[in-house]
Every structure is written in structure tokens, then in C-alpha cells.
Amino acid sequence: MAPPLLNLDGIRLTFGGTPLLDGAALSASAGERIALVGRNGSGKSTLLKIAAGIIEPQDGEVFRQPSATIRYLPQMPDMEGFASVRAYVEAGLGPADDPYRATYLMEHLGLTGEERPDDLSGGEARRAALARVMAPEPDILLLDEPTNHLDLQVIEWLEDELNRSSSALVVISHDRRFLERVSRATVWLDRGQTRKLDKGFAHFEEWRDTILEEEEREQHKLGRQIVREEHWLRYGVTARRKRNMRRLGELQTMRQRFRGHRGAEGVATMVASDAAESGKLVIEAKNIEKSFGDLTVVKGFSTRIQRGDRIGLVGPNGAGKTTLLKMLTGELQPDSGSVRLGTNLEIATLDQKREAVDPQETLGHYLTDGRGDNLVINGEERHVVSYMKDFLFKPEQARTPVRELSGGERARLILARVLARPANLLVLDEPTNDLDMETLELLQELVAGFAGTVILVSHDRDFLDRTVTSIIAPDGEGRWIEYAGGYADMLAQRGGTRLNDRRAVQKQAGDAPRAESTPEAPKGPAKKLSFKQKFALESLPGKMAAVSASISTLENNIADPAFYERDPKGFQKTIAALDKERATLVSMEEEWLELEMLREELEG
């Protein structure tokens, strides 16, 4: 194996309290492609900064090959002092580097180079920073959340560019599909220490779960061994004093190991606060259009969104996703056409820019909107500290100012407030930004299982595939088309072309974009289950088992003859919950049966 260009070993760093890094390691050789993963706040960005030489560890060894060039992409690029994007990008080049490489990257990232850094949006600043670190074609690229604020078109281009590059790569990202496509090894930073898997991110979750299960078994065995040793010391046959002292010392060591074990990080619990059921028709749009000057953003678009639909909006930045979203929800009037909203709608919105948060405001005050220490979730009053724990905040953080939160913690806080509002229509604009993998999984389950309707804008292809029932995507000149299924299903219906390939394919084929706003009917029956159908077929049995267990618990509660006399209101609530769970189980069973019959038909 080639000698490492970069090697960190035994890295330790503490900012007071529990060590952030406690013996962490990271090594990268020529051409290696490493995904660096871990929970928000686990120290991933700090470890990457140590690798880049920006932060010095308190202990441990840091080796960088003297002849190796390293470039680091921070989450927040600093462009102060540069008159133009070109000046900023070219400042990253070395004396022997090709300046045309910088021009090539800026062109493909949609930049002219003449832009003023002060005028850039978040996405433009990220693209400029990418051009700067990639232009020298360094030996090692250290990328911290490179896909943040990028649209799908640029993300897909970046994947291809990185896969063609000869640079070694260490990347932090919340975008699963991106990590799967660019990584060949995975380093997991957990509780201050690192473990390495010599496979790409696609294999990470199964590997992680196996490790955590084994760790739990070992901790359980250690606990039982301690109990046996304590029993022996109290009641066992007296042996030589020297042996007793040795076993007592071993017992104390085992106790220290048991008490000192840092268990796996907590898991967030996300539950949306349900409102009363909306009407069956949620939104109906007929031939809506919207233009800004000479630019037509939406042209002749029609759709019917019904209760229970989960719609994903995708497309390049500037294509008009937010404009279309605002027209569909009644926030913006179309120039022509009509939008009709259904009855009894309660809308909760997570804006892409996130709602304004006073950095001096405390977490508890923000979540309750200043109305005491309690809030109502699904009809039940809960203390704010209890609700905060569901989103992995510690009790003492109730009085912490928002300014002290990390980006991931702030994303969780805003999500907690949105989900506390009673709603039967969730409108989520880039909800996955800054969330770690575990929190992302729970949000995914919440969206997929939400009883109401969901409209979401996202650049996260994996999240879309696992949650939505249809995709609305642009087709050029203001036209939008709705496709059944998730993102992968949309690609299949477009003939396998990605968003950044679409216009080129149309031009080569001499095929102008279609005017209609619905996809052409498929020419023949599907030959296999869609990604979404496969996911549902595999996940439904586990969900049905969980609901069945819940039903059994509720039935046992009702069977208590003293329950009604003791708590009549609680008894009625339990009856209502039992009816709801039974209806849910019936619905799940019907869905599973239909999918299983479809699978057998396709395979038979």
C-alpha cells in the first residue's frame, strides 16, 4: 500500500468537559476516497481542520507529506479582501498551476469570475470556494459539506468531476447519495474515537449497526460478570487473602470500565403535531403561469394534490421551485390560471432560509414562543425540557442562547418548532440541510408516515427516493412535469437522463421540451418494483409489528376495570388512540398485500 500523504494518530482535543477527540485517527494515501461521518457535534469539522493545519491538537501525532499539496473547503468561505470571484479563485493557485483550470471550473460552476464576493448568494459562494480548492488539482482535497446550497445539477456535475480527479479525498456531507458515489472508504467518528471501514458509504449503516449491537452485548456481559464477582466476594468460599485482593482489584477495574462506558449517542424522537383531517382535495392548480419581466418561470402547469400525497419539487437554483411552491400554497397569486385550496387546511412551513431567530433568545423561550414553560403536542401538554429531549437537546440548554448552537443544532431547533405546530399540510423547503444521518433518518420516517400531505423542495436524491410519491421537475422555458415515484423513478421516465443532461439530450435529438404538464403514458407495464415500492415492501412488516405492539398495550390498558373510574378522560383518549392504531394497521396490511401481489406478478 502507498505511504500516507496525511496521517493523524492519537488526536486529542478538549474544550472543557468530555473530550471532543479522544485518540482519533485519520489517514489518506494517494487516490483514496474517504467519507468522514458522525453525529452533529461529534468533531468531524474539527478533525478536518486539524488535518488542514488550521487547529492544533492538544495531543497526538500529525504527519503531512512535505511535498503534498492540501486544499481545504470550509463550510463558511472567507472572501474578504478580494475584489472579484476570479481574484479569489486564482489566489488558490500555486506558481506551477494552470490558470485555465480555474476558468474551466468557474464556467462549469456557473460563474463568470467578475462577480463581487459581497453580492454572492450562499450557493454562489460555495461554488466559488469549490473552484478555488479544486483548481490546483491538489494531492489531498478536504471538503466540509461541499453540497450545501448547491442544486442537483451542480451536485451531479461535482460527483463526476471528483470521480475523474486524481486527488485523494476526505469529505464530510449529509448527502447520502453523494457520499455513496464519491467514497471508497468510510471513517466513523463516534464518541471521540474513529473506526475505519475499507468500503464506501453505501456499506456504512449496516456496519455501524453491527458494531453498536456487539458493543451493547459486551456491556451487558460485563454487567453480569460484575454481579457474579460481587456475589463471590460476599458469599464465596474464603480463599487466600492475596487472591481475594487480586479479585477485588479486578472487580474495581470492571466497575470503572462499566461506569466509564460512553454509550451510543441518543436518538431524536420526531412526531409532527397533527391537526384535524383536511378535505380529500388539498390543492388544485389549473394552467397557472408566472413571469418576471421577460422571464417565464411557470407556464401552463396543472396538478391535483390529494390528502396523503407527498410531492417533491426539484430543479436547478433559479428554475422557479420556490415561486411554484408559493403559488401552490396560496402565498403568491399566479399571473393567469387558478389555484384552489381544499377545506380545513392547517399549514406548517419550514422555509429554506429558516425563519428569523433572535440569537439572544433562549431555546426554551423560542420553542414556547414566550408562553411559559409548556407547549401542546398532539393535544397533550408537555414541558419544554421534555420536548427538547426528543430533539437531543440537554435540559440545561433550555436557557442557552441560540447564538451558541452549531449549524446542525439550530436546524434541529427550528424543525422542533415547526413540528410542534398542528398541521395537516407540511411545506418543507430544503429540510435536510445541516442534519446528521441519524436525525435525517427520523425526519425521513416522519415524512413518509405523515398522515397529512407533504410538499417538499430538496436536492437530496436519497431523501426524495425514500419519502415522496411524485416529483415535479422543470422541463425548460417555464414548463414543469409531474412524474410518479421518487427521484430515481423520474430519471427512469426521462430515459435515464439527469437534470443537467436534459437540455443537451433534447438539443441532440432535435426534441423541443413538451408543452404538456403531465408525463407521457408508459409504453408497457413496469418490469420491476420502483425504489419506493421496494422500500415500502421491506419496511412495512417492521412498522406493522410496532403498531401491533402498540395495539396490544392499549388493549391491556383498557382491560383494567378500574381505568375508567380512575381516569374517564384518559380512558376515552385510549379508546380513540386504539381505533386510530387499528385503522393504521389495516391500511398498512392492505398496502403490503398489494405490493406483495405486484411483486409476485412481476417476478412470475
For range 144-153, the mean pLDDT: 87
Higher pLDDT, 145 or 393: 145
Share of the chain above pLDDT 90, in %: 35
First to last CA, the chain: 48
CA torsion, ordered 371, 377, 382, 384, to nearest 10 deg: -50
Whether the per-residue pLDDT at 343 is higher than 50: the answer is yes
- The rounded distance, in Å, linking the Cα atoms of 604 and 599 is 8
Annotated binding residue 312: no
Task: Judge whether 557 is annotated as a binding position.
Answer: no
Is 41 assigned to a binding site? yes
Determine the Cα–Cα distance for residues 154 and 185; give it in Å rounded to an integer: 24
435: nearest Cα among 427, 443, 447, 426? 443
Tell me if 321 sits within 8 A of 457, measured CB to CB. Answer: yes
Residue 549 pLDDT: 82
Q: Is residue 321 marked as binding? A: yes
Higher pLDDT, 228 or 516: 228
Q: Is the pLDDT of residue 269 over 80?
A: no
User: Known binder of ligand: residue 486?
Assistant: no
Q: Is 330 annotated as a binding residue?
A: no
Mean pLDDT taken over the chain: 82
Residue 494 reports pLDDT greater than 60: yes
- Residue 193: pLDDT band (50, 70, 90) is very high
Q: What does the pLDDT average to over 181-202?
A: 93
Classify 143 as helix, strand or coil.
strand
Query: Side-chain half-sphere of 425: how many Cα atoms within 13 Å?
Result: 23
- Contact, 347 vs 423, CB < 8 A? yes
Q: Give the three-class secondary structure for 84.
A: coil
pLDDT score, position 180: 93
Task: Tell whether the model's pLDDT for residue 346 goes beyond 50.
Answer: yes
Whether this model's pTM surpasses 0.85: no
Mapping DSSP onto H, E and C, the string for 496-513 reads: CCCCCCHHHHHHHHCCCC
What is the rounded average pLDDT of the residues 27-54? 92
Q: Is the pLDDT of residue 504 over 60?
A: no
CB atoms within 10 A of CB 173: 22
pLDDT of residue 242: 47
Task: Identify the residue whose cell numbers are 431524536.
Answer: 268
Mean pLDDT of 335-357: 81
Residue 585 confidence class, pLDDT cut points 50, 70, 90: confident
Task: Give the best-scoring range by mean pLDDT among 72-81, 389-398, 433-442.
Answer: 72-81
Residue 255 pLDDT greater than 70, yes or no: no
Which has the minimum average pLDDT: 119-128, 235-244, 401-410, 418-427?
235-244
322 annotated as a binding-site residue: yes
Q: What is the pLDDT of residues 507-521, one digit of tens each?
A: 333 333 333 333 344
The proportion of the chain whose per-residue pLDDT surpasses 70, expressed as a percent, equals 83
Higher pLDDT, 78 or 261: 78
Check residues 475 and 88 and name the one with the higher pLDDT.
Answer: 88
Other C-beta atoms lying within 10 Å of the C-beta of residue 195: 13
Annotated binding residue 316:
yes
- Check whether 42 is labelled as a binding-site residue: yes
pLDDT classification of 596: cutoffs 50, 70, 90: confident
pLDDT of residue 122: 78
CA dist 415 and 436 (Å) reads: 13
To the question of whether residue 113 is assigned a binding role by annotation, the answer is: no
Residue 140's beta-bridge partner residues? 70, 168
| Residue 499 pLDDT greater than 80, yes or no | no
pLDDT at 248: 60
Q: Which residue has the higher pLDDT, 360 or 526?
A: 360
DSSP labels for 183-208?
Answer: -SEEEEEETTEEEEESS-GGGHHHHH
Please state the length of the chain.
Answer: 604
Residue 423 cell numbers, joined: 398541521
Per-residue pLDDT tens digits for 153-185: 889 999 999 999 999 999 999 899 999 999 999
* pLDDT at 211 exceeding the cut of 70: yes
Identify whether the C-beta of residue 285 lies closer than 8 Å to the C-beta of residue 339. yes
- 39 labelled ligand-binding: yes
Cα separation, 535 vs 484, whole angstroms: 15
**Among 137-146, 287-296, 399-408, the least confident range:** 399-408
